[in-house]
Amino acid sequence: MMTNKNEAIACTVNNCTHHAQNENYCTLNKIQVGTHELNPTKVECTDCESFVNKAR
């Protein structure tokens, strides 16, 4: 697991494997953003497809 934060990708999802832990950033070089809707119209319609639950 990487521990260096990527200041270009802010993140507040603490239970993601890629979260920088001490700071609200992602440690990945890039992320994949997708949607679960046919026609997304709100921020709630988007998903970080790079998310990996720490519990796994």
Q: Is 54 within a domain?
A: no
| Mean pLDDT, residues 16-33 taken together | 97
Total-model pTM: 0.83
C-alpha torsion 54→51→14→20, nearest 10: 90
Q: Is 37 within a domain?
A: yes
| Mean pLDDT, residues 15-26 taken together | 97
State the residue range of the domain holding 41.
6-48
- What percent of the chain is modeled with pLDDT above 70? 95
What is the per-residue pLDDT for 3?
Answer: 66
- Which of helix, strand or coil describes residue 25? strand
pLDDT score of 2 more than 60: no
Count up the domains in the chain and report the number: 1
Task: Copy the structure tokens of residue 43.
Answer: 């921020």
- Number of alpha helices (DSSP H) and beta strands (DSSP E) in the chain: 0, 4
